[in-house]
Structure 1
């Protein structure tokens, strides 16, 4: 991250702070979701209420946004917002299911797969190029493979607890074995990371076409409310699950609506617009540190050896990819400067 800051000076400072806040908000979200599911709150209903409240809070900000600087809302733009929301809805459903089946720590570790998935998708869509004989490209490929290998370690190897607070083996509500719960939870969290990678890539093109961050976030949250509401009405058959009470569930919904959705979505969208998706993806490994600490303090979660080993492997692979990417950008910048110099020197010689 320091290399990115040195390249662009103060231009990266505000996005740096913004992403730290966004990652902290997301880590807190993983913990409060676990609290909510432990207290019997339906996760799909919680998504609907959180998104609906966040939509209401964002409405005045989007309405009073400087319209003179915003292009008109066309049907294609609204379709782009709808697709972003669909990615967010699907990712949240996977994320909530993964946390319920496993733990916030595992879900946070899986988020470190986002850079690897982003790199693979960039290759598929020819955004990135690979030069197999260059060590920089080799570092990116090897780092991607290592990151994915670390994710499989976290999913398939739980290991003994390093920090053990309670004696109960599981908080899971679904009737599977603990090991199967852990594997399914890891796979769902990995699916959430894949959808997040697609979201990051597609967000770049959307912000170029429509640069108003608040409006983008408002329509995303609005469409997610509709999509998740339809899904929840299909899968949640118990009418009592929709009842709101003055308990922990209401606190979780308020936190999700304000911090985990409103603040985080705005910051992430703005940071992607200002600094690009790769810069924002660099902060995902920090999330596991925040999540482990919050889960240890507020949930008394056990921290397992497999999570530690897998997280370390993921982070090593991740920074290998980022080092290769940063080295390539430095080389391209030097080549561009040399080409400019070569174009200037003959002009000076002819003038003499």
Structure 2
């Protein structure tokens, strides 16, 4: 029992550290002159190449039932890649204008945005007199309020405080607000991606094949965007060590290894267990950004991050209690049906309530 809990715990710590490390390395590469769109495109290219064996093995194994590729499924993969690619572009832009710490804090808005989108698409039932729904609404409101605090209130620097001119402070404040807005948009697209991916995975269960085509379409979409956005030919050349390191780390560590490890942890311990580690990324990002980048950590970031994390856990508490209620109800119904010789559901598993996402 101990090993079953320890191994997913270590795995999720590695997932969070890899994500935080990727933000810090990307910020360092951008500060060193690496173009963010070119770096993202090259990372997608490498990821697609590394994922290529998975669909080949899937479709050439005779002992495995393969899901046919249709125009509808390819179009769905295209949209999934477009959402993910757009979110990545906004994330890179937000990190360049602000800091990895702010971007890491904003990622905790994904459950709140997911709950809002689930209500809009009627994937989540809302009983406003139910304490679980009230908890989700309250947690969403607190998380969004924390995001506003992080974006619009910097306050004094807690770490690495330095003096700067008034004009520079104003310029930094504007960039900080814009960066926070882009990171919040990235979290919104991330929530939309989780919802669409959850719906699509039910129709197309071959996870690694879906991941490959998503990466392939993201590469094409990012390449088309980069061609129009980056007109300087010199920007397409990798001239510094930091750019190479960021590109390879994002492609191998953040895209491929982190995804496979996260998928394994979700299947081993469940999405709720894995989602609880999201706020830990703020701690890693703060220390790594301070050590390697000399980033400031502001009072507003601390207050806002605390509010976002509180809202995050309140939303997750509402989600957990709702899923427990559904499972208990299913077990009671199964016990009743067994005692009365009534056939059970063919699936043999409790119905899923709401959205099960890999936050």
TM-score category of the 2 structures, normalised to the smaller one:
0.7 to 0.9
Structure 1, residues 200-231: CA drift from partner, whole Å, max 9, x if none? 11112222222233222221111111111110
Of the three residues 108, 116, 121, the one matched with 2:117 is 121
Equivalent positions of 1:160-179 (< 5 A) are 160-164=156-160, 177-179=171-173
Where does residue 67 of structure 2 map in the other structure? 71
Secondary structure of 1:72's match? Answer: coil
Q: Deviations over 1:9-45 (max 9, x none)?
A: 95x8766554433322211111011101100111011
Per the alignment, residue 42 of structure 2 pairs with 49
Q: What does residue 59 of structure 1 align with? A: 52
Shifted more, 307-316 versus 56-65: the winner is 56-65
Where in structure 2 are the equivalents of 1:22-37 lying within 5 Å?
A: 22-37=15-30
**Poorly superposed stretches of 4+, deviation over 6 Å:** 273-276
SS at match of 2:52: helix
1:145 alignment counterpart: 141
Q: Which residue of 2 aligns with 1:261?
A: 255
Q: Following TM superposition, by how much is the alpha carbon of 1:341 offset from its aligned partner in structure 2, in angstroms?
A: 4.1
**Aligned equivalent of 2:108:** 112
2:323 maps to 1:323: no
- CA deviations 1:54-87 (Å, max 9, x no partner) are 2222223432346424312221111121111101
CA distance in 1, matches of 2:251, 2:97: 23
Partner of 2:182: 188
For residue 69 of structure 2, give the secondary structure of its aligned residue in structure 1: coil
The Cα offsets for residues 147-182 of structure 1, whole Å up to 9 and x where unpaired, read as 111111101110111111665689x9xx97211111
| Cα separation, 2, equivalents of 1:284 and 1:107 | 12
Structure 1, residues 72-124: CA drift from partner, whole Å, max 9, x if none? Answer: 22211111211111011100110011011100000100000001001111111
Instruction: Give RMSD over aligned pairs.
Output: 2.8
Name the SS for the 2:13 alignment partner. Answer: helix
Change (3 A) 1:344 1:98: same
TM-score, scaled to structure 1: 0.87
For the residues of structure 2 that align with 1:44 and 1:105, how far apart are their CA atoms? 21
Q: Where in structure 2 are there 5+ consecutive unaligned residues? A: 343-359
State which drifts further: 64-73 or 302-311.
64-73
1:177 aligned counterpart, secondary structure: helix
How far apart are the structure 2 equivalents of 1:17 and 1:65?
29
Question: Using a 3 Å threshold, how does the CA distance of structure 1 residues 70 and 288 change in structure 2: closer, same or farther?
Answer: farther
Q: Is the CA contact (8 Å cut-off) linking 2:44 and 2:251 kept in structure 1?
A: yes
Deviation, 1:336, is 2.9
1:97 equivalent among 85, 93, 98 = 93
Structure 1 position 279, deviation (Å): 5.1
TM-score normalised over the length of structure 2 = 0.85
Write out per-residue CA displacement over residues 210-262 of structure 1, whole angstroms, 9 at most, x where no aligned residue: 22332222211111111111101101111111112352211111111111112
Select the residue among 272, 284, 287 that pairs with 1:290. Answer: 284
CA contact (8 A) 1:48 1:228 kept: yes
Structure 1 gap segments, 5+ residues each: none
CA contact (8 A) 2:34 2:238 kept: no
1:267-286 alignment, distance < 5 Å: 267-268=261-262, 280-286=274-280
